[in-house]
Amino acid sequence: MYSFSDIASLHADLKQGKTTCTQLVNDALTLIQQKKHLNAFLETFNESALLQAEIVDEKLKNGKAGRLAGVIVALKDNICVKGQKVSASSKILESFTSLYNSTVVERLLTEDAIIIGRTNCDEFAMGSSNENSSNGNVLNPHNEKTVPGGSSGGSAVAVAAGLCHVALGSDTGGSIRQPASFCGVVGFKPTYGRVSRWGLIAYASSFDQIGPLTKTVDDAALVLEVIAGKDEFDSTLSSKPVGEYSKHTTLTKKLKIAYLKECFESEGLDKEIKTHIEEIFNKLKSDGHTIEPVDFPYLDFLVPTYYVLTTAEASSNLARFGGVPYGYRGKNATDLESTFKKSRSEGFGKEVKRRIMLGTFVLSAGYYDAYYAKGQQVRRVVRDKTLEILKKFDIIITPSTPGTAFEFGKNSADPIKMYLEDIFTVQANIAGVPAISIPAGKNKNNMPFGIQLMSAPFTEELLLAAAKHIAV
Protein backbone atom coordinates (compact mmCIF):
# COMPACT_ATOMS: atom_id res chain seq x y z
CA MET A 1 0.00 0.00 0.00
CA TYR A 2 1.38 3.41 -1.02
CA SER A 3 2.61 5.63 1.83
CA PHE A 4 1.66 9.26 1.16
CA SER A 5 3.82 12.09 2.54
CA ASP A 6 3.04 15.09 0.35
CA ILE A 7 1.81 15.96 -3.13
CA ALA A 8 5.25 16.72 -4.57
CA SER A 9 6.55 13.27 -3.58
CA LEU A 10 3.37 11.66 -4.92
CA HIS A 11 3.83 13.32 -8.30
CA ALA A 12 7.45 12.20 -8.43
CA ASP A 13 6.42 8.61 -7.70
CA LEU A 14 3.64 8.70 -10.30
CA LYS A 15 6.08 10.04 -12.87
CA GLN A 16 8.57 7.27 -12.08
CA GLY A 17 5.88 4.60 -12.28
CA LYS A 18 6.15 3.57 -8.63
CA THR A 19 2.36 3.68 -8.37
CA THR A 20 -0.69 4.56 -10.44
CA CYS A 21 -3.83 6.58 -9.77
CA THR A 22 -5.91 3.42 -10.04
CA GLN A 23 -3.76 1.72 -7.42
CA LEU A 24 -3.98 4.78 -5.17
CA VAL A 25 -7.77 4.76 -5.32
CA ASN A 26 -7.97 1.03 -4.63
CA ASP A 27 -5.60 1.43 -1.67
CA ALA A 28 -7.68 4.32 -0.30
CA LEU A 29 -10.95 2.42 -0.63
CA THR A 30 -9.42 -0.60 1.12
CA LEU A 31 -8.09 1.52 3.99
CA ILE A 32 -11.37 3.40 4.38
CA GLN A 33 -13.12 0.06 4.75
CA GLN A 34 -10.51 -1.18 7.25
CA LYS A 35 -10.95 1.97 9.35
CA LYS A 36 -14.70 2.19 8.93
CA HIS A 37 -15.13 2.29 12.70
CA LEU A 38 -13.68 5.82 12.74
CA ASN A 39 -16.90 6.89 10.96
CA ALA A 40 -15.01 9.53 8.99
CA PHE A 41 -16.71 8.74 5.66
CA LEU A 42 -20.44 8.68 5.06
CA GLU A 43 -20.04 7.41 1.53
CA THR A 44 -17.29 6.65 -0.97
CA PHE A 45 -17.67 7.35 -4.67
CA ASN A 46 -16.10 4.07 -5.83
CA GLU A 47 -17.25 4.02 -9.44
CA SER A 48 -16.58 7.67 -10.29
CA ALA A 49 -13.26 7.70 -8.40
CA LEU A 50 -11.95 4.65 -10.28
CA LEU A 51 -13.13 6.11 -13.59
CA GLN A 52 -11.37 9.40 -12.85
CA ALA A 53 -8.24 7.48 -11.86
CA GLU A 54 -8.14 5.75 -15.25
CA ILE A 55 -8.52 9.09 -17.02
CA VAL A 56 -5.73 10.70 -14.99
CA ASP A 57 -3.42 7.71 -15.50
CA GLU A 58 -3.84 8.18 -19.25
CA LYS A 59 -3.14 11.91 -18.95
CA LEU A 60 0.02 11.18 -16.96
CA LYS A 61 1.24 8.88 -19.75
CA ASN A 62 0.67 11.69 -22.26
CA GLY A 63 2.27 14.36 -20.10
CA LYS A 64 -0.95 16.38 -19.91
CA ALA A 65 -1.96 15.89 -16.26
CA GLY A 66 -3.07 18.79 -14.06
CA ARG A 67 -1.55 20.26 -10.91
CA LEU A 68 -3.43 17.85 -8.61
CA ALA A 69 -3.05 14.74 -10.75
CA GLY A 70 -3.70 11.64 -8.67
CA VAL A 71 -4.40 13.55 -5.46
CA ILE A 72 -7.23 11.82 -3.60
CA VAL A 73 -9.60 14.36 -2.06
CA ALA A 74 -12.39 13.90 0.48
CA LEU A 75 -15.19 16.45 0.78
CA LYS A 76 -17.09 17.56 3.85
CA ASP A 77 -20.73 16.56 3.57
CA ASN A 78 -21.89 20.10 2.84
CA ILE A 79 -20.04 20.50 -0.48
CA CYS A 80 -22.04 19.53 -3.57
CA VAL A 81 -20.96 16.92 -6.12
CA LYS A 82 -23.23 16.41 -9.12
CA GLY A 83 -25.18 13.15 -8.95
CA GLN A 84 -24.03 12.37 -5.40
CA LYS A 85 -25.84 12.69 -2.09
CA VAL A 86 -25.12 15.69 0.11
CA SER A 87 -26.85 15.99 3.48
CA ALA A 88 -24.84 18.30 5.76
CA SER A 89 -25.00 15.23 8.05
CA SER A 90 -28.65 16.02 8.76
CA LYS A 91 -31.72 13.80 8.68
CA ILE A 92 -33.60 16.59 6.95
CA LEU A 93 -31.44 16.14 3.82
CA GLU A 94 -30.70 12.42 4.14
CA SER A 95 -31.94 11.50 0.65
CA PHE A 96 -31.03 14.66 -1.25
CA THR A 97 -28.87 14.34 -4.38
CA SER A 98 -26.99 17.33 -5.76
CA LEU A 99 -27.91 18.54 -9.24
CA TYR A 100 -24.58 20.32 -9.84
CA ASN A 101 -20.93 20.51 -8.82
CA SER A 102 -19.77 23.17 -6.42
CA THR A 103 -17.18 25.55 -7.85
CA VAL A 104 -14.39 24.05 -5.71
CA VAL A 105 -15.20 20.57 -7.05
CA GLU A 106 -15.13 21.81 -10.64
CA ARG A 107 -11.71 23.36 -10.04
CA LEU A 108 -10.34 20.23 -8.35
CA LEU A 109 -11.53 18.03 -11.23
CA THR A 110 -10.09 20.43 -13.81
CA GLU A 111 -6.68 19.87 -12.23
CA ASP A 112 -7.19 16.07 -12.21
CA ALA A 113 -7.85 15.52 -8.51
CA ILE A 114 -9.84 12.39 -7.62
CA ILE A 115 -12.89 12.87 -5.38
CA ILE A 116 -13.08 9.78 -3.15
CA GLY A 117 -16.19 10.50 -1.06
CA ARG A 118 -17.99 12.65 1.48
CA THR A 119 -17.01 12.95 5.12
CA ASN A 120 -19.03 13.12 8.31
CA CYS A 121 -19.49 16.48 10.04
CA ASP A 122 -21.54 18.24 12.68
CA GLU A 123 -25.06 18.79 11.37
CA PHE A 124 -25.14 21.86 9.12
CA ALA A 125 -21.56 22.55 10.32
CA MET A 126 -22.83 23.49 13.78
CA GLY A 127 -20.52 22.07 16.41
CA SER A 128 -17.02 21.87 17.85
CA SER A 129 -16.75 18.14 18.45
CA ASN A 130 -18.50 16.23 15.62
CA GLU A 131 -20.99 14.90 18.19
CA ASN A 132 -23.92 16.62 16.45
CA SER A 133 -24.01 14.50 13.28
CA SER A 134 -27.16 12.51 12.55
CA ASN A 135 -24.75 9.79 11.38
CA GLY A 136 -22.99 9.27 14.70
CA ASN A 137 -19.68 10.38 16.16
CA VAL A 138 -16.38 10.51 14.30
CA LEU A 139 -13.49 9.03 16.32
CA ASN A 140 -10.13 10.74 16.73
CA PRO A 141 -7.47 8.33 15.36
CA HIS A 142 -4.95 9.43 18.02
CA ASN A 143 -7.31 8.31 20.79
CA GLU A 144 -10.65 6.84 19.81
CA LYS A 145 -12.21 7.85 23.13
CA THR A 146 -11.81 11.52 22.20
CA VAL A 147 -13.55 13.82 19.75
CA PRO A 148 -11.88 14.84 16.47
CA GLY A 149 -13.13 18.42 16.74
CA GLY A 150 -15.75 20.00 14.58
CA SER A 151 -17.46 20.71 12.48
CA SER A 152 -15.09 19.34 9.81
CA GLY A 153 -14.11 16.39 12.01
CA GLY A 154 -14.56 13.74 9.35
CA SER A 155 -12.30 15.62 6.93
CA ALA A 156 -9.59 16.09 9.56
CA VAL A 157 -9.71 12.40 10.54
CA ALA A 158 -9.61 11.31 6.90
CA VAL A 159 -6.32 13.16 6.42
CA ALA A 160 -4.85 12.24 9.82
CA ALA A 161 -5.64 8.55 9.37
CA GLY A 162 -4.29 8.46 5.81
CA LEU A 163 -7.67 7.70 4.23
CA CYS A 164 -7.11 10.43 1.62
CA HIS A 165 -4.35 12.82 0.64
CA VAL A 166 -6.28 16.06 1.08
CA ALA A 167 -9.72 17.01 2.36
CA LEU A 168 -11.88 20.10 2.06
CA GLY A 169 -13.87 21.47 4.95
CA SER A 170 -15.79 24.64 5.70
CA ASP A 171 -14.87 27.10 8.44
CA THR A 172 -17.49 29.36 10.03
CA GLY A 173 -15.82 29.93 13.39
CA GLY A 174 -12.94 27.48 13.46
CA SER A 175 -14.48 24.39 11.87
CA ILE A 176 -11.34 23.64 9.84
CA ARG A 177 -8.67 24.84 12.28
CA GLN A 178 -10.06 23.33 15.49
CA PRO A 179 -10.28 19.74 14.19
CA ALA A 180 -6.91 20.23 12.48
CA SER A 181 -5.47 21.06 15.90
CA PHE A 182 -7.13 18.08 17.58
CA CYS A 183 -6.02 15.66 14.83
CA GLY A 184 -2.50 16.95 14.22
CA VAL A 185 -2.89 18.18 10.62
CA VAL A 186 -2.75 21.52 8.79
CA GLY A 187 -6.04 23.41 8.53
CA PHE A 188 -6.36 26.59 6.47
CA LYS A 189 -9.18 29.15 6.41
CA PRO A 190 -8.67 31.65 3.57
CA THR A 191 -9.71 35.29 3.61
CA TYR A 192 -13.48 35.69 3.34
CA GLY A 193 -14.16 36.10 -0.38
CA ARG A 194 -11.06 34.21 -1.53
CA VAL A 195 -12.79 30.87 -2.29
CA SER A 196 -16.21 30.50 -3.89
CA ARG A 197 -19.08 29.31 -1.68
CA TRP A 198 -21.14 28.24 -4.70
CA GLY A 199 -22.27 24.71 -3.92
CA LEU A 200 -21.61 24.95 -0.18
CA ILE A 201 -24.68 24.35 1.99
CA ALA A 202 -24.78 27.53 4.04
CA TYR A 203 -24.62 27.88 7.81
CA ALA A 204 -23.81 31.59 8.17
CA SER A 205 -23.15 33.16 4.79
CA SER A 206 -21.01 36.10 5.89
CA PHE A 207 -18.71 33.82 7.91
CA ASP A 208 -18.44 30.55 5.92
CA GLN A 209 -15.28 29.78 3.95
CA ILE A 210 -14.12 26.57 2.27
CA GLY A 211 -10.53 25.55 2.89
CA PRO A 212 -8.12 22.60 2.82
CA LEU A 213 -6.97 20.14 5.48
CA THR A 214 -3.61 18.63 4.55
CA LYS A 215 -0.48 16.91 5.81
CA THR A 216 1.80 19.85 4.96
CA VAL A 217 1.68 23.60 4.44
CA ASP A 218 2.97 23.16 0.88
CA ASP A 219 -0.01 20.95 0.07
CA ALA A 220 -2.40 23.53 1.56
CA ALA A 221 -0.79 26.21 -0.61
CA LEU A 222 -1.24 24.18 -3.80
CA VAL A 223 -4.86 23.24 -3.08
CA LEU A 224 -5.71 26.86 -2.24
CA GLU A 225 -4.05 27.99 -5.48
CA VAL A 226 -6.38 25.66 -7.38
CA ILE A 227 -9.69 26.39 -5.64
CA ALA A 228 -9.32 30.17 -5.06
CA GLY A 229 -10.35 32.98 -7.37
CA LYS A 230 -13.19 34.87 -8.95
CA ASP A 231 -16.43 33.02 -9.68
CA GLU A 232 -19.48 34.39 -11.47
CA PHE A 233 -21.76 32.32 -9.22
CA ASP A 234 -20.61 33.96 -5.95
CA SER A 235 -21.12 37.73 -5.80
CA THR A 236 -19.28 38.01 -2.47
CA LEU A 237 -16.04 36.78 -4.05
CA SER A 238 -13.07 39.10 -4.46
CA SER A 239 -11.73 39.82 -7.93
CA LYS A 240 -8.16 40.10 -6.59
CA PRO A 241 -5.79 37.85 -8.57
CA VAL A 242 -4.79 34.52 -7.05
CA GLY A 243 -1.10 34.25 -6.27
CA GLU A 244 1.16 31.31 -7.09
CA TYR A 245 1.06 30.26 -3.45
CA SER A 246 2.76 26.92 -4.03
CA LYS A 247 5.86 28.63 -5.49
CA HIS A 248 6.30 31.08 -2.63
CA THR A 249 6.20 29.06 0.58
CA THR A 250 9.78 29.92 1.53
CA LEU A 251 9.97 32.85 3.94
CA THR A 252 12.11 35.67 2.53
CA LYS A 253 12.11 38.15 5.42
CA LYS A 254 12.18 38.39 9.20
CA LEU A 255 8.71 38.47 10.66
CA LYS A 256 7.18 40.98 12.99
CA ILE A 257 4.85 38.86 15.12
CA ALA A 258 2.17 39.90 17.59
CA TYR A 259 0.65 37.64 20.20
CA LEU A 260 -2.54 38.50 22.04
CA LYS A 261 -1.77 38.83 25.75
CA GLU A 262 -5.34 38.01 26.73
CA CYS A 263 -5.12 34.64 24.95
CA PHE A 264 -2.01 33.56 26.79
CA GLU A 265 -3.30 34.88 30.12
CA SER A 266 -6.60 33.00 29.74
CA GLU A 267 -7.30 30.64 32.64
CA GLY A 268 -8.76 28.11 30.24
CA LEU A 269 -5.52 27.68 28.27
CA ASP A 270 -3.75 24.37 28.92
CA LYS A 271 -0.45 25.09 30.68
CA GLU A 272 1.51 22.62 28.55
CA ILE A 273 0.27 24.25 25.36
CA LYS A 274 1.24 27.66 26.70
CA THR A 275 4.72 26.44 27.62
CA HIS A 276 5.22 24.78 24.25
CA ILE A 277 4.17 27.90 22.33
CA GLU A 278 6.52 30.01 24.47
CA GLU A 279 9.33 27.68 23.39
CA ILE A 280 8.34 28.31 19.76
CA PHE A 281 8.49 32.04 20.47
CA ASN A 282 11.98 31.71 21.92
CA LYS A 283 13.17 29.84 18.85
CA LEU A 284 11.67 32.48 16.55
CA LYS A 285 13.38 35.23 18.53
CA SER A 286 16.71 33.42 18.27
CA ASP A 287 16.16 33.25 14.49
CA GLY A 288 15.89 37.05 14.40
CA HIS A 289 12.14 37.51 14.27
CA THR A 290 10.44 40.18 16.39
CA ILE A 291 7.74 39.04 18.79
CA GLU A 292 5.72 41.46 20.88
CA PRO A 293 2.63 41.21 23.08
CA VAL A 294 -0.39 43.33 22.14
CA ASP A 295 -3.59 44.15 23.97
CA PHE A 296 -6.81 42.73 22.59
CA PRO A 297 -9.50 43.70 25.10
CA TYR A 298 -12.34 42.05 23.17
CA LEU A 299 -11.52 38.37 23.76
CA ASP A 300 -14.54 37.83 26.02
CA PHE A 301 -16.84 39.38 23.39
CA LEU A 302 -15.77 37.15 20.51
CA VAL A 303 -17.83 34.04 21.22
CA PRO A 304 -21.07 35.91 22.17
CA THR A 305 -20.78 38.11 19.06
CA TYR A 306 -20.12 35.10 16.87
CA TYR A 307 -23.12 33.15 18.16
CA VAL A 308 -25.53 36.08 17.97
CA LEU A 309 -24.63 36.78 14.34
CA THR A 310 -24.18 33.24 13.03
CA THR A 311 -27.38 31.95 14.58
CA ALA A 312 -29.27 34.88 13.07
CA GLU A 313 -27.91 33.98 9.63
CA ALA A 314 -28.61 30.29 10.23
CA SER A 315 -32.21 31.08 11.13
CA SER A 316 -32.60 32.70 7.73
CA ASN A 317 -30.55 30.19 5.72
CA LEU A 318 -32.22 27.11 7.16
CA ALA A 319 -35.76 28.44 6.67
CA ARG A 320 -35.78 26.76 3.24
CA PHE A 321 -35.74 23.28 4.79
CA GLY A 322 -39.43 22.78 5.48
CA GLY A 323 -40.20 19.37 4.05
CA VAL A 324 -42.10 20.69 1.04
CA PRO A 325 -39.85 20.97 -2.07
CA TYR A 326 -37.21 18.40 -1.02
CA GLY A 327 -35.64 16.65 1.94
CA TYR A 328 -37.23 14.93 4.90
CA ARG A 329 -40.99 15.29 5.37
CA GLY A 330 -42.82 14.47 8.60
CA LYS A 331 -44.71 11.23 8.07
CA ASN A 332 -47.75 12.17 10.16
CA ALA A 333 -48.25 15.62 8.69
CA THR A 334 -51.87 16.38 7.76
CA ASP A 335 -51.75 19.94 6.41
CA LEU A 336 -49.23 22.66 5.48
CA GLU A 337 -48.69 23.87 9.05
CA SER A 338 -48.14 20.39 10.47
CA THR A 339 -45.85 19.57 7.52
CA PHE A 340 -43.55 22.43 8.47
CA LYS A 341 -43.70 21.71 12.19
CA LYS A 342 -43.18 17.97 12.02
CA SER A 343 -40.60 18.03 9.22
CA ARG A 344 -38.41 20.60 10.99
CA SER A 345 -38.83 19.24 14.52
CA GLU A 346 -38.13 15.66 13.40
CA GLY A 347 -35.55 16.43 10.70
CA PHE A 348 -33.26 18.84 12.57
CA GLY A 349 -31.08 17.73 15.48
CA LYS A 350 -31.06 19.33 18.92
CA GLU A 351 -28.12 21.68 18.37
CA VAL A 352 -29.41 22.95 15.04
CA LYS A 353 -32.85 23.63 16.55
CA ARG A 354 -31.20 25.43 19.46
CA ARG A 355 -29.32 27.74 17.09
CA ILE A 356 -32.33 28.36 14.83
CA MET A 357 -34.40 29.37 17.85
CA LEU A 358 -31.63 31.60 19.19
CA GLY A 359 -31.22 33.22 15.77
CA THR A 360 -34.95 33.78 15.40
CA PHE A 361 -35.00 35.38 18.85
CA VAL A 362 -32.15 37.85 18.15
CA LEU A 363 -33.83 38.85 14.87
CA SER A 364 -37.28 39.38 16.43
CA ALA A 365 -38.74 42.87 16.47
CA GLY A 366 -38.32 43.48 20.19
CA TYR A 367 -34.71 42.30 20.40
CA TYR A 368 -33.17 43.09 16.99
CA ASP A 369 -31.43 46.29 18.11
CA ALA A 370 -30.34 44.88 21.45
CA TYR A 371 -28.72 41.75 19.99
CA TYR A 372 -28.28 41.55 16.22
CA ALA A 373 -27.56 45.23 15.59
CA LYS A 374 -25.26 45.39 18.61
CA GLY A 375 -23.50 42.23 17.41
CA GLN A 376 -22.80 43.84 14.05
CA GLN A 377 -21.36 46.88 15.82
CA VAL A 378 -19.06 44.70 17.91
CA ARG A 379 -18.05 42.81 14.77
CA ARG A 380 -16.87 46.08 13.25
CA VAL A 381 -14.89 46.93 16.39
CA VAL A 382 -13.22 43.50 16.37
CA ARG A 383 -12.38 43.75 12.68
CA ASP A 384 -10.97 47.26 13.06
CA LYS A 385 -8.82 46.27 16.03
CA THR A 386 -7.56 43.14 14.24
CA LEU A 387 -6.63 45.12 11.13
CA GLU A 388 -5.01 47.80 13.27
CA ILE A 389 -2.71 45.17 14.78
CA LEU A 390 -1.97 43.70 11.35
CA LYS A 391 -0.89 47.10 10.02
CA LYS A 392 1.97 47.04 12.54
CA PHE A 393 2.70 43.30 12.46
CA ASP A 394 2.96 40.65 9.75
CA ILE A 395 1.08 37.98 11.66
CA ILE A 396 -0.82 37.38 14.89
CA ILE A 397 -0.17 34.14 16.76
CA THR A 398 -2.56 32.46 19.20
CA PRO A 399 -3.15 28.89 20.33
CA SER A 400 -5.54 27.10 17.97
CA THR A 401 -7.52 25.61 20.86
CA PRO A 402 -7.52 25.96 24.67
CA GLY A 403 -6.59 22.29 25.09
CA THR A 404 -6.26 18.97 23.30
CA ALA A 405 -9.15 16.77 22.18
CA PHE A 406 -11.57 16.00 25.00
CA GLU A 407 -13.47 12.79 25.62
CA PHE A 408 -16.91 12.20 24.13
CA GLY A 409 -19.71 13.60 26.29
CA LYS A 410 -17.44 15.80 28.40
CA ASN A 411 -18.80 19.11 27.08
CA SER A 412 -22.01 18.04 25.34
CA ALA A 413 -24.23 18.71 28.36
CA ASP A 414 -23.05 22.32 28.59
CA PRO A 415 -23.48 24.29 25.33
CA ILE A 416 -21.61 27.32 26.72
CA LYS A 417 -18.55 25.24 27.57
CA MET A 418 -18.68 23.69 24.11
CA TYR A 419 -18.99 27.09 22.44
CA LEU A 420 -15.86 28.31 24.30
CA GLU A 421 -13.82 25.67 22.47
CA ASP A 422 -13.88 28.19 19.57
CA ILE A 423 -12.61 31.15 21.63
CA PHE A 424 -9.31 31.49 19.74
CA THR A 425 -10.57 30.72 16.24
CA VAL A 426 -13.70 32.87 15.86
CA GLN A 427 -11.73 36.13 15.63
CA ALA A 428 -10.52 35.33 12.10
CA ASN A 429 -14.08 34.73 10.88
CA ILE A 430 -15.49 37.81 12.58
CA ALA A 431 -12.70 39.93 11.05
CA GLY A 432 -12.69 38.10 7.69
CA VAL A 433 -8.92 37.50 7.76
CA PRO A 434 -7.04 34.34 6.72
CA ALA A 435 -5.91 31.94 9.44
CA ILE A 436 -4.08 28.63 9.59
CA SER A 437 -3.57 25.99 12.27
CA ILE A 438 -0.34 24.01 12.07
CA PRO A 439 0.72 21.10 14.29
CA ALA A 440 2.77 22.40 17.23
CA GLY A 441 3.52 19.23 19.18
CA LYS A 442 1.89 16.80 21.55
CA ASN A 443 0.77 17.13 25.16
CA LYS A 444 1.78 14.72 27.94
CA ASN A 445 -1.41 12.80 27.11
CA ASN A 446 0.20 12.14 23.68
CA MET A 447 -2.51 14.15 21.91
CA PRO A 448 -1.65 16.75 19.26
CA PHE A 449 -2.40 20.45 19.40
CA GLY A 450 -1.92 23.35 17.01
CA ILE A 451 -0.72 26.92 16.85
CA GLN A 452 -2.77 29.48 14.91
CA LEU A 453 -1.45 32.23 12.65
CA MET A 454 -3.53 35.10 11.24
CA SER A 455 -2.56 37.77 8.72
CA ALA A 456 -4.14 40.71 6.89
CA PRO A 457 -6.83 40.05 4.25
CA PHE A 458 -5.55 38.49 1.02
CA THR A 459 -2.00 37.98 2.33
CA GLU A 460 -2.25 34.20 2.08
CA GLU A 461 1.19 34.01 0.45
CA LEU A 462 2.89 35.56 3.49
CA LEU A 463 0.78 33.53 5.92
CA LEU A 464 1.61 30.23 4.24
CA ALA A 465 5.32 31.05 4.12
CA ALA A 466 5.29 32.01 7.81
CA ALA A 467 3.39 28.84 8.69
CA LYS A 468 5.86 26.65 6.83
CA HIS A 469 8.79 28.38 8.52
CA ILE A 470 7.31 27.91 11.98
CA ALA A 471 6.21 24.34 11.26
CA VAL A 472 9.74 23.23 10.30
Residues belonging to the active site: 76, 151, 175
Specify whether the backbone of 70 is left (phi greater than 0), alpha (psi in -120 to 50) or beta: left
